[in-house]
Amino acid sequence: MDAIGTELGVTQWLTVDQDRIEAFAAATGDSQWIHVDPDRAAAGPFGTTIAHGHLTASLVPAFVAELLEVGGASAAINAGSDRVRFVAPVPAGSRLRASAAVVACEQVRAGMRATLRVTVEIEGGQRPALVADVLTVYVSA
């Protein structure tokens, strides 16, 4: 399809603060000290609490929605992810944004399935927080 290789741009910055991390911990039951205990985490390997990798991954659909609107679609359905990599930790208080590029598109019974390579960057970071190929089905209206 003509869209393959298209760069979709960059999202606005989003702050991942300690409140968001603690809410994610409560929602998922993952209350490991590196996420929720600032005092202990200060002496730990990252010097502060860090966001869960899956918290970062959970932000991807909102980032993608900011970058891409598919005309004629009645819904965007998450169809999974391939090659998800948590490259760098996300310290509490970090600002994140994402960029994406189209790597595949195909017609499916429900509409169109798009695969986007999404990179989530940390403001001031040397490496991205996350790189993943995400699959979304855009359901025909």
The pLDDT tens digits for 66-101 are 999 888 899 999 999 999 999 999 999 999 999 999
| 3-class SS of residue 11 | coil
The pLDDT tens digits for 98-112 are 999 999 999 999 999
Task: Say which CATH class 7-16+52-140 falls into.
Answer: alpha beta
Q: Residue ranges per domain, the chain?
A: 7-16+52-140
CA 127 from centre of chain: 15
Q: What is the pTM of this model?
A: 0.93
